[in-house]
Amino acid sequence: MFFKAYKTVEDAIKKVSGEDDVLLGDGGEHADLASTVAFSLAKKRKENPVKIAADITAELEKELFEADISVSTKGPYINFIFGKNYISDVLRESLKPGFGQLSEKNIRVCIEHTSANPNGPLHVGHIRNSVIGDTLARVYKKAGYSTDVQYYVNDMGRQIAIVSWGFDNLDIKRKEGEKGDRYVANVYVAANRSIEADPSIKEEIDRRMALIEQGDPEMVKKFRDAVILCLDGMKDTLKKLNAPHNRFIFESDFVKSRLMHHVLNRLSSIPQAKHDETLALDLTEFGFEKDYVLRRSDGTSVYAARDLAYHEWKSDNYDRIIDVLGADHKLIGTQLQATMKLLGDKAPEIVFFEFVSLPEGSMSTRAGKFISADDLIEEVTKRAYEEVDTRRPDISEEDKKAIAESVAAGAIRYDIIRVSQEKSTVFNWKEALDFEKQSAPYVQYANARACSILEKSGEFEERFEAESEHEIALVKKIALFPKIIDEISRDLRPHILAIYARELADLFNTFYRYNPVLKAEGDLRDSRLTIVKAAQNTLSEVLKTLGIDAVRSM
RNA sequence: GGGCUUGUGGCCUAGCCUGGAUAUGGCGUUAGCCUCCUAAGCUAAAAGUCGGGGGUUCGAAUCCCCCCAAGCCCGCCA
């Protein structure tokens, strides 16, 4: 509905002003849309912008009368306000199941996220990647793309060699009920301490690296066992966060299948290839000073080589490739993009996000200095349970637990997704445990309130009208949901959705406060119930797209 | 040393790409609202050199240049 109204206004201004760029944007508190085209015309015509705005407005009024859009000026600004037809169209549209879904695009998108090294549990830094990636995946589905969500498993890296050495040499027992990822981290931390104490162990690690590259069966099994053990624990964490992947791709498969060798062969014959002891690429034409090394002088491959093979495979199988990576991967990520271009393949679009640190400094799996996602989930769930327990003595233990889990996972996801990805953050327990205002529970609560009203209302006849300022503001906000989905699928900035969710909940709560629904009578009751139903449907679709449970009661 | 990113009231944060109407919200503080559809809610108040300086423009938080501060990267690690 919004798209249509926008286009109508845009076309009208183009026709009346003769300008290509109609400078049309959000009207804020003044209007639904506003144009500053009078300023640019003023320059060209050497006239007063206020006068131009007034002149144009008279013509625009005629153009837009049919569409029920009113036009007015405030100084040089031209304001557009949508009328009753718009409201009624929005209400009809937003009551439909799956509201916000855009038309099918027939484009295959591959989204890679998380892809943390399987040498320990996911921590609060990793899950920023998971939440951004999973939210994007949900947005892309909503935007009509077919999506595949992948985890790239670094199963032949140095870290895993260290873990396998630890398992063979350190006799560390798995504690009763200990998760696999936590156990692997213990072995990894201990092995690193051993290496610090006795650097000669490094030779043994190098030997394992060489064996894994050759595909030595015994070493392959050792690596794979450790990786699977860790990965199972990580999958469990991702499940609790509603951030599942549908495929796990192992980097060693690209060595085994010789895809990596094919890519390296292709690259070794391009003009940018440098054959010294190593195989490297000269990417100075892209502004990179350092060579991009792909093969060591001992003949073994580095991570970049395997990653290139993976991306070439993605290029062959998808129309769009999106990678979510931490800011520490900026250099290697952009080098990879440049190399894909040299190969004539599709380069990935990369969403970089800045770091999450602890108040005492940055996190480190190797040093055992991190807050695990599991611990965070546990603490937040505990806190959520206390809240439900005091508020809802009337419901069963089972329901309390289920609500607490939904609230906790939602609170964590919202807390992460609400800040834009280019901002580095410091993890803060107080904020993580705060369930008011700018939080998932705030939005979930608005949805639950709406559900409660609809449960009590009984049958009613849908009426597609809004009278009060609060009703109108709410309906107009509902109308923007498809636009938000479209925007995020273009800009890859998912925090916009969190802000939208908050604003939608704000407007629903204000409406709820000033416009009684169940106590209203006749047509007014029906039209308000219709608005509640539309708001509830939209809130629940927004929450679903954020990967947050839209609980019906809390 | 070079590159990238960030800097908005005591704290957190939107807006920056695509310049325009009194800079968005929250936390905290202060003062109110439950005989009323779930108070995880609502209302109001106090609180701002948009890091600093220059420039472009009728107009700059937004664009350009310089400087300062913080984080990340600059490995034949991943």
* pLDDT value of residue A300: 87
* pLDDT value of residue A45: 86
Q: Given pLDDT bands bounded at 50, 70 and 90, which one contains residue A46?
A: confident
Would you list the DSSP string of A186-252? HHHHHHHHHHHH-TTHHHHHHHHHHHHHHT-HHHHHHHHHHHHHHHHHHHHHHHHTT---SEEEETH
Which of these CATH numbers, 3.40.50.620, 3.40.30.10, 3.30.360.10, 3.40.1210.10, describes A126-148+251-354? Answer: 3.40.50.620
* pLDDT value of residue A368: 87
Residue range A389-395: mean pLDDT, rounded:
92
- What's the Å distance between residue A457 CA and nucleotide B45 C1'? 38
* pLDDT value of residue A94: 98
Distance CA A509, CA A45 (A): 47
Spell out the SS3 assignment of A320-365.
EEEEEEEHHHHHHHHHHHHHHHHCCCCCCEEEEECCEEECCECCEC
B71 C1': nearest CA residue: A424
- What's the Å distance between residue A418 CA and nucleotide B70 C1'? 22
Nucleotide nearest to A491 (CA to C1'): B17
- What's the Å distance between residue A25 CA and nucleotide B18 C1'? 10
Give the H or E element holding residue A143: none
How many Cβ atoms are within 10 Å of A77's Cβ, its own excluded?
A: 19
Nucleotide nearest to A159 (CA to C1'): B78
For chain A, give the percent of residues with pLDDT over 70: 100
- What's the Å distance between residue A473 CA and nucleotide B44 C1'? 21
CA A295: distance to chain centroid? 34
* pLDDT value of residue A298: 86
pLDDT, tens only, A501-510: 999 999 999 9
Q: What does the radius of gyration of chain A's CA atoms come to, in whole angstroms?
A: 28
Q: Domain coordinates of chain A in residue numbers?
A: 2-82, 126-148+251-354, 374-545
Q: What is the CATH code for A374-545?
A: 1.10.730.10
Would you say A61 and A78 are in contact if contact means Cβ atoms under 8 Å apart? no
B11 C1': nearest CA residue: A431
Over 90: is that where the pLDDT of A84 sits? yes
What CA dihedral angle connects A266, A268, A271 and A276, to 10 degrees? 170
Over 90: is that where the pLDDT of A342 sits? yes
Nucleotide nearest to A516 (CA to C1'): B37
Q: In the numeric block, which tokens belong to residue A386?
A: 């206390």
Collect all residues with Cβ–Cβ distance below 8 Å to A387 and sequence separation of at least 6: A404, A407, A435
Nucleotide nearest to A436 (CA to C1'): B40
Nucleotide nearest to A441 (CA to C1'): B40
Q: Which nucleotides of B are covered by protein (CB under 7 A)?
A: 2-7, 12-15, 17-18, 20-22, 25-28, 36-43, 58-59, 71-78
Spell out the SS3 assignment of A404-418.
HHHHHHHHHHHHHHC
* Domain covering A2-82, topology: Gyrase A; domain 2 (3.30.1360)
Collect all residues with Cβ–Cβ distance below 8 Å to A26 and sequence separation of at least 6: A33, A34
According to DSSP, the residues that pair with A149 across neighbouring strands are: A111
Over 90: is that where the pLDDT of A326 sits? yes
Nucleotide nearest to A209 (CA to C1'): B77
Distance CA A538, CA A91 (A): 11
Burial (0-12, 13-18, 19+ Cβ within 10 Å), A251: buried
Nearest CA among A418, A476, A487, A511 for reference residue A94: A476
Nucleotide nearest to A307 (CA to C1'): B78
- What's the Å distance between residue A51 CA and nucleotide B61 C1'? 29
Give the H or E element holding residue A381: helix A373-391
- What's the Å distance between residue A17 CA and nucleotide B64 C1'? 30
Collect all residues with Cβ–Cβ distance below 8 Å to A321 and sequence separation of at least 6: A109, A110, A112, A311, A314, A315, A346, A347, A348, A349
* pLDDT value of residue A44: 84
* pLDDT value of residue A493: 97
User: Average model confidence (pLDDT) for chain A?
Assistant: 95
B39 C1': nearest CA residue: A391
pLDDT, tens only, A278-311: 999 999 999 998 999 999 998 889 999 999 999 9
For chain A, give the percent of residues with pLDDT over 90: 93
Distance CA A242, CA A249 (A): 20
Q: Given pLDDT bands bounded at 50, 70 and 90, which one contains residue A367?
A: confident
- What's the Å distance between residue A490 CA and nucleotide B66 C1'? 34
Q: In the numeric block, which tokens belong to residue A370?
A: 């991190």
Residue range A384-413: mean pLDDT, rounded:
95
